[in-house]
Amino acid sequence: LPADHPPVPIHEHSGGTCPITGNNAFCPPQKGDVRSVCPALNAMANHGFIPRDGRNLTFLTLFRGLKACYGLSSSLATVLVTGGFLAIGRLPIHIPLVPGGVIDLHLVGLHNRVEHDASLVHLNTPLGHKYGPVEIQEEWVPMLVSDIQPPADVGRMRARRQHEILPKKLDPVHAEVARGEMAIILGVWNSEYQRKHEGKQDKNESREKQGIPLQWLLQWLAEERLPDIPISSESEMEVDGDSNIAPKKTTMWRPNHKQTLRDVVNRSKRIRKVTEAIESEEAKL
């Protein structure tokens, strides 16, 4: 490992072993765990789809984790994991005397590799620093307002963040990475957002709202955890057996469809079109 790499304790709790080891319930990072600037990977570690300490990540570990956690197709997972390894200068397979085979979430944060400026919730990497900051800027999260509707709202979000880092500008590769990140998560969650209907549905009304609930996006970005989904469609508060008001029961979101590479490419193109149109208008002012 590089000389500036953090020490290597494992996922430890003050009481010893993690109390939820063996399932995919949420557990925040503990002392000694490492995390990246990528909320998707951090959420996978926080839910145990990859090692909870964020270390010893092989190609197969990440490949299986992406498919199980987010429902990615094999081709999309292969492209993302292979590209991630190569971007930080490591081979996705082990070859003697050549760095590769295993990475961790800290290494993913190498500046201007997979990591990039103009993140939605992270500060830009300070001048001279090798790794991007992983601390979430909580005050930025509420700036993502209204249900996120692809591609317009995401295009506006990307245009806003790129405007805020001027005179710096993302190069074409990292601009595409930034769009692709949101294109993936929008596709992963999109079909889950079903409008509630009472009685007979209007035949002219689309049953599926083409977007994702803001609450899901904020929870994922701010807490790096998978969204909580209501178990029932009853009111927000329910009455328990003792006639006391109890919070509505929820369960962890699970993928219900496969997200493909073609889906991501097409959605990213639509986000790019909106972003560039906004930037073009701003340039005229």
Q: How confident is the model at residue 198 (pLDDT cuts 50, 70, 90)?
A: very low
109 in Cβ contact with 117 (< 8 Å): no
- Preceding amide of 167 cis, omega within 30: yes
Q: Indicate whether 9 pLDDT > 50.
A: yes
Sign of CA dihedral 77, 80, 81, 82: positive
Q: Residue 142 carries which DSSP code? A: G
Q: In angstroms, how far is CA 234 from the centroid of its own chain?
A: 29
pLDDT digit string, tens, across residues 223-266: 999 998 877 544 444 455 555 555 568 888 999 889 999 999 99
Q: What are the helix (H) ranges across the chain?
A: 39-46, 59-70, 74-87, 105-108, 152-164, 172-190, 214-223, 261-284
Q: Say what angle helices 261-284 and 152-164 make with each other, to 10 degrees.
A: 60
Average pLDDT, the chain: 79
Between CA 258 and CA 274 the distance in angstroms is 25
Instruction: Note if the pTM is more than 0.85.
Output: no
